[in-house]
Amino acid sequence: MKLIKYSLLLMLAFSSMTAFAEENAKFPKIEDLHERKWQILIAQAQLSPKEAENVKPVFIEHENLVWKLHQENHDFFKSALKNAKNVTPNYAALNDRYIDNEFKEAQLSKIYHIKLRKILDPETLFRYYKAERDFKRKLLHDLQDQRQRDKK
């Protein structure tokens, strides 16, 4: 259940970031955000230089795949809801697409986990996942703070 909540929050965050980036050119590029996340993961998970060297390509691949999935879905939902002004959306198709996205993201997470557990020992991997969750929480918090400041 928590995985679903975090996935939903991450999807919302990335969708918000895309919309926010369109409105605000000062928002960092996704590559910069990935690099910021990577540096935080290295520090909080206490990765050795060798572990970091081995994990980084897996991390970058996963981040790019997840980002691509979120972009595709953001574009799909934005288009579907934009057309809703003239035509009632096909909510069944939207719901199916949402669940398909959740399933694809879960599959990507499973593949990511399998690759990471070949590189990191269980305790380090646990710290790594905790660092990822903490980063997502902080990102959402920062986005909320930014929106509050923009409203003023």
All structural domains of the chain with their residue ranges: 2-151
User: Averaged over 120-149, what is the pLDDT?
Assistant: 90
| Measured torsion, CA atoms of residues 137, 140, 143, 148, in degrees rounded to the nearest 10 | -100
Question: Which residue, among 57, 45, 55, 67, has the nearest Cα to 119 in the 3D structure?
Answer: 55
Whole-model pTM? 0.74
- Residue-level pLDDT at 26: 58
pLDDT tens column, 112-131: 999 999 999 999 999 999 99
Gap between the Cα atoms of 148 and 123, Å rounded: 38
pLDDT at 106 over 60: yes
- Residue-level pLDDT at 14: 52
pLDDT at 89 over 70: yes
pLDDT at 132 over 80: yes
pLDDT tens column, 45-85: 999 999 999 999 999 999 999 999 999 888 888 877 776 67
pLDDT tens column, 1-34: 454 444 434 444 555 445 444 444 556 788 999 9
Greater pLDDT, 9 or 110: 110
